Chain A
Amino acid sequence: MKLQLPNPGLEDRILSHEQLERLEVEEAGDRPKWDNKAQYMLTCVGFCVGLGNVWRFPYLCQSHGGGAFMIPFLILLVLEGVPLLHLEFAIGQRLRKGSLGCWRTVHPYLLGVGLASMCVSLLISLYYNCIIAWIMWYFFNSFQEPLPWSQCPVNANNTGLVSECARSSPVDYFWYRQTLNTTSVIDDTGGLQWWMALCLVSAWAVLYVCCIRGIETTGKAVYVTSTLPYVVLTIFLIRGLTLKGSVDGIKFLFTPDLNELANPSTWLDAGAQVFYSFSLAFGGLISFSSYNSVHNNCEQDAVIISIINAFTSIYAATVIYCIIGFRATERFDDCLNGNILALMNAFDLPEGNVTTDNYDQVVTMFNSTSPDVIQTLHLKTCNLYTFLSEGVEGTGLAFIVFTEAITKMPLSPLWSVLFFIMLFCLGLSSMFGNIEGVLVPLQDLNVFPKKWPKEAITGLTCVVGCLVGLIFVQGSGNYWLALFDTFSGSIPLLIIAFCEMVGVVYIYGIDRFNDDLVFMIGHKPNIFWQVTWRFISPLIMLLILVFYFVTTVTKELSYITWDPDSDNFPTLEEKPYPAWIYAIIFILAGIPSLCVPGAAIFKMIQNHCCKKENEDKTQMVSNVSCQMQDDVSKTNS
């Protein structure tokens, strides 16, 4: 049942095995190369392991049944993540081009896939670097004691704390007001925040210095950016385990709830997490793989990187929930102590009479003797479980929950510096892959003149990225970022990944692909790879794509805002998007997705016109040669 779509001219576009061998031996060509295998592995690990492992996976794990979430996660990792990863590595290594060059080589009509990859990489780079700018801002602010987010600032006439801060919390205030200076609606731009603009410039500058000569410089940078997060996670784990309440956090995270497995959204979220976590369909992995030697064992690499990615997700989740457990316990203790103090003050009891142990009995006793007094006290219900399940993900986890936990630890500036360095390294190493996915297609498209040096091309891209990224440093920047995150990085990637699989298996040809793998790594990929490449992985991608599409289209689009004037403040308020946002959403999600069929149609039309011209030319040639022959025969005769 080997379906093979017609693909004329493929042989002409690719290098044959003999040519590849010759290339390898003679080391001809200026294509950049990895200095050693470690650089390549570290770069790929850095690209795959990103902020999502730290702030998305723990949340998903905890909200979808804790330990039970491992089951769909690991199953889908094996069936979806590893095959796609191996495919991208193999095709890059074989065709020795970036993503756009690769797909154009496989079939000219697949140019759209490469274009879509480039567009998605570009859109994601824009907002991802803004997140890195936020991380740098917190990093810059960590070098002071006490940390600026540990206490509310005093208001103008020194009579009390700033009202917005007093009503919410110091960490919320620092994030929403002093960092973002957020407006209450997306329509209100709020102007550029100069301090964030400075941080954005520094983020792009650091990226530039690391990418200035392509993998020559990134290969050196990844020695630090890919390894430092693991060191910091270990330090945090050791520190966290000594804190009170950390074990409760870990227990809460991993307590399995097998009923969640029956919920389809669990499987959908697991599939999406595996997919996005591997940074597939960005084009960066294909590029990185193309700098390898032809006989590099890409199968082994794919398996190793998948294992490292899964391990990192679980490890990071453990560390995060260690600290969250500590924070929840602190909050619980504060809540209970507040209640105890209120009781003691109301009934003039000596200190030490009411403790956390006999608190419940005392309350019931007083409730029976003087219930009216108890009513006036407004005692809060303190439940550790509620505090633990304040499931936060994304920026809320890093900049609000975790920073609050850090302020409660002794030597807070040290932990804050370490934490934000770790986030910075995680983000930067992912950015290397994103930028690779933008720069190499631009070079393949010959957008820049050939004689421009690489430094200039990278520099220009960074400057443009920085300028466009200024949207995210205005007052409403946070909402724009959430918009980009939701729409540009979801559906287009699924479409690209699906097209990649179909392209390699059915257009390039699974037989040819198998032969290539025999040539490259020495043995034919076994039945597992055959089955997953041909049926299972494309099917899973299609299912996730359909579900995602249906849920996004049917849901009413709304966003959550920080509105000090709202009634529910400090709870974030959900507001509907204004009408013109739909145009933006179409640009973000629609244009990359439509690149795929659009480019195919464009190429088809181009071919059609060119065919006619070619026919005319051949006719002309035959005419000329006929004429010449006639002349010759005439002169001869």
Chain B
Amino acid sequence: MFPLLLLLCLPPALAAVDCVNEYRNGYQVRLSIKTALGDQAYDWNESELFLFRATIAFAMRKFTKTEAYEVSNIVVCNQTPRVSFWFIVTSPENPAQAISKNIVEQAVRESRNRINNAFLLTDKSLEFLGIPPTLAAPINPDTPPWLIVFGVVIGAVCAGIVALLIMSFVKRRRGKKAKEVPEEEDQAKGTDKAVTGETFEDRNGVYNLGFADDDRFTQL
């Protein structure tokens, strides 16, 4: 495994860039595959590295729009068992010249989502050290959802209040009408009642104690 890695570190014949010397134009990449995917983690091997180089080439092509980057333009070195390595992008016209860090950063940021998805990873598990992740713009719905729920609840409550008030009002009117009819009959007896001092019922139905004991009354 290790000798294979060492072989990979040797720059291929075509690309004459020594990535150790050009490190200031390169980026370190770190992958945390097992942490992110758990049981479904894949092994990091040559093919995966090839895919990575291809996606970076794709990102550069998409960003620059004109220049035709090849997989060979992406140079990788310093691989570790952690699964981290450095990469440098070289210019397609002049393989000896490295593309500046800024352009690489912008290209990666633009296609970050595509790169992540190619590896089934996220910004946290596929880290480009030094390139800040592009935060997704927050989705701002026109009406905040809480206002909708509030509207529903307050509507139901108001409907309930109105219904109960109407029911009470109707009950009271019916009660009044029922009282008016027998009251006319009672009016004749009413004066007698007042004189002999039988118990009245207060509006609240409290037993009027003042009239409870009959012997308190002076006999007329």
Contacts and interface: CB of A to CB of B under 8 A. Distances in A.
User: Are A and B genuine complex partners?
Assistant: yes
Interface of A: 12, 15, 19, 23, 28-31, 136-137, 139-141, 143-144, 153-154, 158-161, 195, 198-199, 201-202, 205-206, 208-209, 212-213, 217, 337, 341, 344-345, 348-352, 450, 453, 455
A340 B132 CA distance: 22
B168 A140 contact: no
The 6 A-B pairs of least Cβ separation, nearest first, read: A30-B205, A29-B205, A140-B146, A351-B34, A350-B81, A348-B80
Nearest to A208: B161
A202 B151 CA distance: 10
Contacts of B10: none
B168 A143 contact: no
B150 interface: yes
A337 to B, nearest CB: 8
Contacts of B164: 209, 212-213, 217, 455
B153 A202 contact: yes
A139 B207 CA distance: 47
B153 A212 contact: no
A137 B146 contact: yes
B207 A28 contact: yes
Contacts of B148: 143
Given A28-B201, A351-B32, A344 B160 contact: no
Nearest to A145: B145
A198 B205 CA distance: 40
Nearest to A212: B164
A205 B154 CA distance: 8
B157 A199 contact: no
Interface string B204-218: 111101001000000
B137 A158 contact: yes
Nearest to A417: B149
A207 to B, nearest CB: 10
A212 B161 contact: yes
A209 B81 contact: no
Contact of A144 (B34, B82, B145, B161): B145
Contact of A140 (B149, B161, B203): B149
B135 interface: yes
Given A137-B146, A161-B135, 14 more contacts: A19-B212, A23-B207, A30-B204, A30-B205, A31-B206, A140-B153, A143-B148, A198-B150, A202-B157, A205-B154, A205-B157, A208-B161, A341-B35, A450-B204
Interface of B: 30, 32-35, 80-84, 132, 134-135, 137-138, 145-150, 153-154, 157-158, 160-161, 164-165, 168, 172, 201, 203-207, 209, 212
Contacts of A15: 207, 209
Given A28-B205, A143-B145, A350 B161 contact: no
Given A28-B201, A341-B32, A202 B154 contact: yes
B128 to A, nearest CB: 14
A520 B201 CA distance: 25
12 contacts: A23-B207, A28-B201, A140-B153, A143-B146, A205-B157, A206-B157, A209-B164, A212-B164, A213-B164, A350-B81, A350-B82, A455-B168
B138 A345 contact: no
A160 B157 CA distance: 41
Contacts of A198: 150
A396 B29 CA distance: 41
A199 B150 contact: yes
A100 B117 CA distance: 72
Contacts of B82: 344-345, 348-351
A161 B138 CA distance: 11
Nearest to A96: B206
A453 B138 contact: no
Nearest to A16: B212
A159 B145 CA distance: 26
A140 B150 contact: yes
Contacts of A450: 203-204
B34 A352 contact: yes
Given A140-B149, A154-B138, A209-B160, A29 B203 contact: no
A453 B157 contact: no
B81 A349 contact: yes
Contacts of A28: 201, 205, 207
Contacts of A161: 135
A29 B160 CA distance: 29
A160 B134 CA distance: 9
A159 B132 contact: yes
Nearest to B33: A351
A158 B134 CA distance: 8
A133 B204 CA distance: 35
Contacts of A348: 80-82, 84
A212 B80 CA distance: 73
Nearest to B206: A29
A153 B172 CA distance: 55
A352 B41 CA distance: 12
A205 B161 contact: yes
A209 B157 contact: yes
Contacts of B30: 345
A348 B5 CA distance: 15
Nearest to B158: A205
Contacts of A160: 132, 135
Contacts of B158: 205
Contacts of B168: 213, 453, 455
Contacts of A212: 161, 164-165
A31 B207 contact: no
A158 B135 contact: yes
A455 B148 CA distance: 29
A139 B154 CA distance: 13
A140 B172 CA distance: 37
A159 B136 CA distance: 10
Contacts of A23: 207
A337 B35 CA distance: 10
Contact of B161 (A136, A199, A209, A344): A209
Contacts of B83: 350-351
A28 B164 CA distance: 26
Contacts of A213: 164, 168
B174 to A, nearest CB: 15
A615 B1 CA distance: 117
A19 B34 CA distance: 83
Residue of A12, A144, A159 contacting most chain B CB atoms (<10 Å): A144
Given A209-B164, A351-B82, A453-B172, A153 B138 contact: yes
Contact of A141 (B35, B146, B153): B146
A132 B82 CA distance: 52
B126 to A, nearest CB: 13
Contacts of A350: 81-83
Nearest to A97: B206
B207 A29 contact: yes
Contacts of B132: 159-160
Contacts of A199: 150
A159 B209 CA distance: 79
Nearest to A340: B35
B154 to A, nearest CB: 5
